[in-house]
Structure 1
Amino acid sequence: MGWKYVLISLVVFSAFACQQKETESDETATKDYIRPIPGQDEPVDPEILDKGEVLISYNACYDCHKKDGRFKGPAYRDIAKRYPRKQVYIDLLAQKIIAGGTGSWGNPIMPPHPKLTQEEAIAMASYILSLK
């Protein structure tokens, strides 16, 4: 009967130790995944944010992105956590929306959206960065 107690204790301890390590690595992975850029948010016109939300809804962006939680691409809230809402980052993201890209969030490839205007892509990026 003693060996059963030792075996059960070992199994329980191993399961707990693995679970603890998995939690720690998940937290580290999340921090590495987002890699926030320091900076203060700038105000954005609410009309631009409304336009950006509508454009995202009508351009199949939700096929690859969600507001919360990774899907094929990063979650919008994770993008907002990474980039401060500053015009330079809004312009950068707008360009990525139009031209497509890869590497910023791992292996997913975002296809280009050449039919969008710069103004539309700026509205979309502004909306995304407002989701903090």
Structure 2
Amino acid sequence: MSILPITRSFASAGGLLLIILFMAACNNEPHQTVREPIDYIKPIPGPSDSVPVAAAKKGEVLIGYSDCYTCHKDEKRSIGPAFRDIAKRYPVNEAYIQYLAKKIISGGSGSWGAAVMIPHPALTADDAQTMVRYILSLRQ
């Protein structure tokens, strides 16, 4: 009696089983990895003041003449967060206006992920605060 036919039948059965398992696992449907959107806007609680229209308009002009739109857009995240998203996060009050103005002047990272904002040391504190007032005026 030869052992070779038995070995072949086991090998054939094992190969057939492997093919069946592979086909069942694949089921011919395309696999897509769906990434859930990350809500990176975590609002900071606190009272909000209103932004005077004249201050908001002046801030919008200052932003228009700066390099802000290189990395930011009003409505949609770009390299940095959207201005509306910044407005949703921070309360409109003098403490946050000063804080954000200092961040614009000194630059930084980590508040909105890995993106790095370059420093703007030539910008005056008053102009940076006016720009922040415009950004925070976009709060809805």
* TM-score, normalized by the shorter chain, greater than 0.5: yes
Partner of 2:45: 38
Aligned counterpart in structure 1 of residue 130 of structure 2, from 82, 98, 123: 123
Partner of 1:78: 85
The alignment partner of 1:107 has SS state of: strand
* Corresponding position: 1:48 with 2:55: yes
* 1: CA distance, partners of 2:138 / 2:95: 17
Structure exhibiting the larger radius of gyration computed from Cα positions = 2
- Kindly, what percent of the aligned residue pairs are identical? 50
Which segments of 5 or more consecutive residues in structure 1 lack a partner in the other structure? none
- Deviation (angstroms), 1:52: 0.4
* 1: CA distance, partners of 2:53 / 2:123: 20
Q: Deviations over 1:67-110 (max 9, x none)?
A: 11111111101101110111111110000111111111111111
Number of corresponding residues: 115
CA contact (8 A) 2:50 2:137 kept: no
Could you list the structure 1 runs, at least 4 aligned residues long, displaced by more than 6 angstroms after superposition.
Answer: none
Task: Output aligned runs, 1:52-131, within 5 Å.
Answer: 52-131=59-138
User: TM-score scaled to structure 2, two decimals?
Assistant: 0.74
> If each structure's helix is expressed as a fraction of its own residues, which one has the higher value?
1
Which segments of 5 or more consecutive residues in structure 2 lack a partner in the other structure? 1-22
* 2: CA distance, partners of 1:113 / 1:106: 20
The alignment partner of 1:109 has SS state of: strand
The alignment partner of 2:50 has SS state of: coil
